[in-house]
Structure 1
Amino acid sequence: MAHARDTAIESSSGITHCSICEQVCGLIVTQSNGRVTSIKPDKNNPYSWRDYCIKGASAGDHRDHPLRITKPMKRVGDRYVETSYEEAIDQISAKLKRLIAQYGPDTLGLYSGNPGALSFSSYGFSDALLDALGSRSKFMIGSIDHNALMVAAREMHGSEAVILLPDVDACDYFLLIGANPAVSKMSWLGKVSDGWTRLRKRLQGGARLTVVDPRRTETAAHATDHLAPRPGTDWALLLAMITVI
């Protein structure tokens, strides 16, 4: 009996959400003895699309990967060796002070991407760190991803945070460029509750869907028209569209 107690598997499941992107898809995570054994979509989540993409499905593999870095590492020659947090903080602080003294605070830049930019605590601390250092060199996913959208929203509505949502249920034509909402909820369609299902319902009602993607994606399989430009030539297509419009 003692042996049975020692080798008993402690398993439990909990409801949470994925934080890799802004869709925060609902998840049910099962763990046994501290290791993730299963990640499934939370079908009862009232906010998310009741599914998930491969990034959320494989999150457990990243968490428990044997090569995951769990302690500070410093480069010595052509290899990395383990060090303490105290030594890491001291060395980083000394290097930052030297750079600021030599080049000024703006030489220190911060780029926040997924999932850090979608964590309130992570992004808030990073922003406060640059403020404390006096640097204005702050960049994030929006710097290369959707600044144009936010500028247009600010000029049209007075605030970059006021972004209009598409009326999917009444739309007669959809154009998706490089988006694959059948697998990943990212893109404007992700802002519409259960948007991919509602888009497909409109297709049944006579709407058209054009997908522009070099690959025949899961979304392109449902398209009325699939344009597959050669990789690296999408700029020519977009420039032609702008010219015609």
Structure 2
Amino acid sequence: MDEPSLLVEHHHDRVVGALNRPGRRNAIDRDLIDRLHALCEELENEPRTLILTGTGGDFAAGADIAQLRARRAADALRGINANAFIRVRELPMPVIAAMDGYALGGGAELAYAADIRIATPRLRIGNPEPDLGILAAAGATWRLREIVGEALASEMLLTMRILDAHEAHAAGLVSSIHDPADLMPAAHAIVGRIAAADPLAIRHTKTALRAPRDAHPSIDADLQAELFESPEKMRRMTAFLERKGRP
């Protein structure tokens, strides 16, 4: 029996989702999109931090071209990949993309939907869609600009420039670079730091980070007001003061 296109590993405070089509460099097909939706539904109902990665030495080398070639206008209007990546982006807890090898096209757009991106020196990331007669319509035209700025985003999307790991790090597209053997331990270490905090405070921080500029500062005040009344805030602050020997 073939392995599923998305391998899911559950822990009490995190979930690992590994794109698993190594024979196609983890190209994103409709089955993988359906499995991402199912994973998102699970994490919407039971929020945990998500690590997204790929098997076989690549994150995802794009969308499945054979399926894309068969799609027509009605498929584009359904936003098949775009809606899945929006759902990933809107998960209540953080999403970490741990990338090795190729992260191209739809694979790059899935990574742009993450909150934190880390990589190995083998990373190659970008959007070559216009070379195939389409545009990067699953988030790149707005998310990439927000991450790296308009100048670099325009160059990448209009000239199909592919960044290596060090260029991506310099641009702020990835936050750290790790040897391949250290990539997943680094991702789990990030989750460990997240898990040490109050989950509700993390969720509210992510909500505030994703809010449009004109929602601030009122959204921050509303979220903080809820946290100020939480028992966990009182417990954590009391424990902090006791460690410092203060009443």
If you compute each CA radius of gyration, which structure gives the higher value, 1 or 2? 1
Q: Which one has a larger percent strand, Structure 1 or Structure 2?
A: 1
TM-score by length of 2: 0.26
Structure of higher RCO (CA pairs closer than 8 Å, 6+ residues apart): 2
TM-score by length of 1: 0.26
